[in-house]
């Protein structure tokens, strides 16, 4: 059973089977959001996704970065990522047309950032998710 379905811009339908959400800056006790901190957070999410879903390719949707008008600190200007970090496991029909559709599916683990706690769904999902190049990034597997 899936959590939601997303209609990609390509016309393919993908289903979200697992979703992990966390606060982007949860647990940050010192410092301020800046490029070095954000890059570490993104790398950490990539490692988490690779460990959680070792048999599936992982794709990072490049996050938007905002630069509020605040005084720069020792590590450079303030740089803020969206407040919610997400790791989602997605499934769809097989990419390779020669594979038996009864026995094969495709999978991709996606990392993205968003501002709210909404589960992406349908054609209302963020454009960054709807524009995923599934045929290039996902991997086919046998059931």
Please answer whether residues 132 and 61 qualify as being in contact, where contact means their C-beta atoms are separated by less than 8 angstroms: yes
pLDDT tens-digit series, residues 45-100: 999 999 999 999 999 999 999 999 999 989 999 999 999 999 999 999 999 999 99
**Mean pLDDT score across all residues of the chain:** 95
Q: What is the mean pLDDT of residues 26-52?
A: 93
pLDDT tens-digit series, residues 102-115: 999 999 999 999 99
């Amino acid at each position: 059973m899936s959590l939601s379905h997303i209609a990609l811009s390509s016309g393919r339908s993908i289903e979200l089977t697992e979703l992990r959400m966390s606060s982007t800056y949860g647990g940050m006790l010192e410092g301020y959001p800046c490029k070095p901190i954000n890059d570490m957070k993104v790398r950490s999410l990539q490692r988490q996704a690779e460990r959680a879903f070792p048999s599936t390719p992982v794709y990072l949707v490049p996050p938007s970065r905002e630069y509020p008008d605040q005084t720069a600190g020792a590590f450079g200007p303030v740089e803020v990522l969206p407040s919610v970090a997400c790791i989602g496991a997605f499934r769809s029909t097989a990419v390779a047309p020669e594979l038996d559709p009864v026995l094969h599916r495709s999978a991709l683990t996606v990392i993205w950032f968003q501002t709210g706690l909404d589960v992406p769904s349908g054609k209302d999902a963020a454009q960054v998710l709807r524009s995923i190049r599934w045929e290039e990034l996902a991997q086919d597997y046998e059931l």
